[in-house]
């Protein structure tokens, strides 16, 4: 289920958005009445969806929406007056912010909600893949450093060092990275690899 944050300084907007989000499948909804309060709420917490009902009492909401859209696991919807919709949409869309004109059309809002959910799911998959690739890259770097240590201290060839690490990993039922870290500890006598 989706957890959402509504940022709105208008009481009527808060109740209408809360109702729309509840019908749209949001399990929990937090409310902030200013960008400053929302920034404090977002410290150490990630929301699936952030709906900004602009303007707010302390900002227009544009900068805040763009800033929070940088979080790859959150979708951001910015609601603006119809007179400035085109201009605002052009300014924020490059940051991944969905823009909706007020007055809200329920069907259009639910469509945007579904699009935001699809974008969030795709971004989440890409974020997960990126994290997995970073881990693999760190594994390769650590293993290569261990090979270099074996080549330097035991005068092994690169191929022999590679086979040694793989054999140790199989024999000891450890990952190649764990074996490489052990080699680095032994030969380089340090843990900052």
Residues 22 and 77 grouped into a single domain:
yes
Residues 148 and 86 grouped into a single domain:
no
**Helix intervals (H) in the chain:** 11-23, 35-42, 62-68, 85-92, 106-153, 158-172, 176-188
Q: Checking DSSP bridges between strand 49-53 and strand 2-8, what pairing results, if any?
A: parallel
Residues 83 and 6 grouped into a single domain:
yes
Q: Please, what is the angle between helix 106-153 and helix 158-172, to 10°?
A: 110
The CATH number assigned to the domain holding 92 equals: 3.40.50.2300
Handedness of CA 144, 148, 154, 158 (dihedral sign): positive
Residue 63 domain flag: yes
37-41, 50-54, 82-86, 118-122: segment of lowest average pLDDT = 118-122
**What are the structure tokens assigned to 108, written together?**
């259009």
Q: In what order do the strands lie in the sheet with 2-8?
A: 26-32, 2-8, 49-53, 75-81, 97-102
Span 59-77, pLDDT tens digits:
999 999 999 999 888 999 9
Residue 35 domain flag: yes
Domain range enclosing 137: 130-188
Span 144-188, pLDDT tens digits:
999 999 999 999 999 999 999 999 999 999 999 999 999 999 988
Q: Which contacts qualify for 118-124: CB closer than 8 Å, 24 or more apart?
A: 119/75, 120/48, 120/49, 120/73, 120/74, 120/75, 123/72, 123/73, 124/72, 124/73
Mean pLDDT of 36-61: 93
Quote the CA–CA distance of 120 and 137 in Å, as a whole number: 25
Residue 54 domain flag: yes
């Amino acid at each position: 289920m989706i957890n959402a944050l509504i940022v709105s300084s208008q009481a009527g907007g808060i109740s209408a958005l809360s109702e729309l989000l509840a019908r749209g499948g949001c399990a929990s909804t937090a409310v902030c009445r200013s960008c400053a309060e929302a920034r404090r709420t977002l410290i150490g917490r990630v929301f699936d969806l952030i709906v900004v009902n602009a303007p707010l009492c302390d900002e227009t909401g544009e900068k805040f929406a763009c800033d929070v859209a940088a979080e790859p696991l959150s979708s951001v919807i910015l609601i603006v007056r119809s007179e400035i919709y085109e201009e605002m949409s052009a300014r924020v869309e490059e940051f991944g912010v969905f823009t909706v004109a007020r007055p809200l059309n329920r069907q259009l809002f639910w469509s945007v909600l579904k699009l935001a959910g699809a974008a969030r799911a795709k971004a989440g998959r890409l974020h997960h893949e990126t994290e997995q690739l970073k881990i693999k890259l760190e594994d390769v770097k650590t293993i290569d450093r261990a090979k270099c240590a074996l080549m330097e201290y035991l005068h092994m060839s690169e191929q022999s060092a590679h086979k040694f690490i793989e054999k140790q990993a199989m024999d000891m039922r450890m990952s190649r990275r764990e074996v490489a870290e052990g080699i680095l500890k032994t030969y380089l006598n340090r843990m900052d690899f």
